[in-house]
Amino acid sequence: MAAHDHSLGPVLPPVKIEHADVVLVQRHSNTTVTDKIAGVVLWSPTPKQWFVIIAIAFMVLQLLPFSLGNLVVQGIGLWGINSPVGWGFDIINFVWWIGIGHAGTLISAVLLLFRQEWRMAIARFAEAMTIFAVMCAGLYPVFHTGRPWLAYWLLPYPNTMALWPQPRSPLVWDVFAVSTYATVSILFWYVGLIPDLATMRDRAKGFGKYIYGFLALGWRGSAKHWHRYETASLLLAGLSTPLVLSVHSIVSFDFATGLIPGWHTTVFPPYFVAGAVFAGFAMVLTLAIPVRKWYGLEDFITDRHLENMAKVMFATGMIVCYGYFLEVFMAWYSGNEYEWAMLMNRVKGPYAAMYWALWICNGLSIQILWFKWARRSTTVLFIVSQFVSVGMWLERFVIIPMSIHRDFIPASWGMYYPTVFDWGTFIGSMGFFTFLMFLFIRGLPMISMFEIRTLVKRPAEANH
């Protein structure tokens, strides 16, 4: 095997345009695949953009301990919640972050079971995004209780007081759903990393060799190891697949099991699941498009990957729009005066601008994805993804504060205004997420090397 100059990366032959729909540009050998992906971590120069973004993310992250520290000392009165709006930014952002993580589970688990080859280049990246998004989501309900040091009371553990969580409460359901989701996601992500960690161990130098060696758990690539890996992957994929549907359905029950107009509807579980996948794919595109460019990974994350992700985002976006139309139709068709009043409050009330911005971001912006050229344009996809991320956050605002700020009795009506600590916690959590994502990109292989190697030297026609 010829030696490579790792400081410059692998030397590749010119690209041959074989087919527009390849999932791997066919100019790679097993060695160049490994060198290119492992080189991002081990020897390739780190792009300047990485340093800029992680520095900004670290500075923004400081808002999180500042905001939460003040919250613990002074209480949740620092937030903008009041009576009647008892749920504000905390639950809005909890639902938003949980939704963002859904794309990783769908890509890694569901598409694995369906044997979709295009998932291979983006699965690990999306799985990492899932874990970090769930970490951000978990912050909000813990601090929302006002007693984060007593969060363990939400778990059913034997105690002398004979106190148990209320199993009829959807908030307790959230604890079990989200904790299960986080556990299975971490296991799935780590099991998938093991073969590549062994590759990194064999190529790393210095102290890094021992770190990767410890994390690789003695992987040697034997037939027994691969058999156990395949078995574990399929089992975890089987466990993860129901979670794609169940986790956000249970989160939707926080609202659907209530009697508040705008919440008490059976459409919420599928509506929330579609919205979660919609927001999740928008975030995958937001992160993957610039990273693909900065690290020169266009051979691995091809136009076909972008188009397939755009198709999923578009399909789930149209389901979400159907949910919006259904809300309007049922408010009229039900003849319920409170449902109609809730709808009119959204359409022309004090928060009407946010309702119409939601329609523009989630309904209007995605219509350009009917066109193939748009689904393959990184500029268009990046811009649409930003609209979708903002729109899905606005959707949570419309569902939560806008549905409860005007109660059944006009005397109890009120307005919700987030405070600087609400914004500090939210923006700080975005810094936390971005910081973790870019640490992951720098320290671990963001693309699965051993899976990409299975695509090497295969005819482009086999990629269908």
Q: What is the pTM of this model?
A: 0.89
In a domain, 9, yes or no: no
Tell me if 387 sits within 8 A of 374, measured CB to CB. Answer: no
The phi, psi pair for 72, rounded to 5°, reads -65, -40
In a domain, 278, yes or no: yes
What pLDDT is attached to residue 340? 92
- Round to whole Å and give the CA distance between 263 and 172: 18
| Nearest of 106, 157, 99 to residue 127 by alpha carbon | 106
Residue 413, domain extent: 30-463
The CATH number of whichever domain residue 98 belongs to comes to 1.20.1630.10
The phi, psi pair for 325, rounded to 5°, reads -65, -40
H or E, element range at 306: helix 303-333
User: How many structural domains is the chain composed of?
Assistant: 1
- Round to whole Å and give the CA distance between 339 and 217: 57
Tell me if 264 sits within 8 A of 256, measured CB to CB. Answer: yes
In a domain, 338, yes or no: yes
Residue 306's contacts (CB-CB under 8 Å, 6 or more residues apart) are 285, 289, 375, 376, 378, 381
- Round to whole Å and give the CA distance between 224 and 216: 15
What pLDDT is attached to residue 1? 40
- Round to whole Å and give the CA distance between 395 and 178: 21
Neighbours of 148 (CB within 10 A): 14
In a domain, 12, yes or no: no
Q: Buried b / exposed e across 340-373, counting CB within 10 Å, b at 16+?
A: ebbbebbeebebeebbebbbebbbebbebbeeee
Rounded to the nearest 5 percent, the helix, strand and coil shares of the chain are 70, 0, 30
In a domain, 73, yes or no: yes
In a domain, 166, yes or no: yes
| CA-atom Rg of the chain in angstroms | 23
Residue 398's contacts (CB-CB under 8 Å, 6 or more residues apart) are 346, 351, 354, 355, 358
In a domain, 13, yes or no: no
Integer angstrom CA distances of residue 204 from 2, 41, 261, 438, 443:
18, 9, 59, 20, 12
- Round to whole Å and give the CA distance between 377 and 42: 31
Categorise residue 12: left if φ over 0, alpha if ψ from -120 to 50, beta otherwise. beta
What pLDDT is attached to residue 285? 94
pLDDT tens sequence for the chain (464 residues): 444 444 445 545 544 444 446 777 767 778 888 888 888 888 878 889 999 999 999 999 999 999 999 999 998 889 988 888 989 899 999 999 999 988 788 888 888 888 888 888 888 989 999 999 999 999 998 998 888 888 888 888 888 877 888 888 888 888 999 999 999 999 999 999 999 999 999 888 888 889 999 999 999 989 999 999 999 999 998 888 888 888 889 999 989 988 888 898 889 999 999 999 999 999 999 999 999 999 988 888 888 889 999 999 999 999 999 999 999 999 999 888 989 999 999 999 899 999 999 999 999 999 999 999 999 999 999 999 999 999 999 999 999 999 899 888 888 888 999 999 999 999 999 999 999 999 999 999 999 888 888 888 654 444 44
Structure-block tokens of residue 423: 């914004």
In a domain, 16, yes or no: no
What pLDDT is attached to residue 362? 94
The phi, psi pair for 58, rounded to 5°, reads -65, -40
- Round to whole Å and give the CA distance between 330 and 8: 61
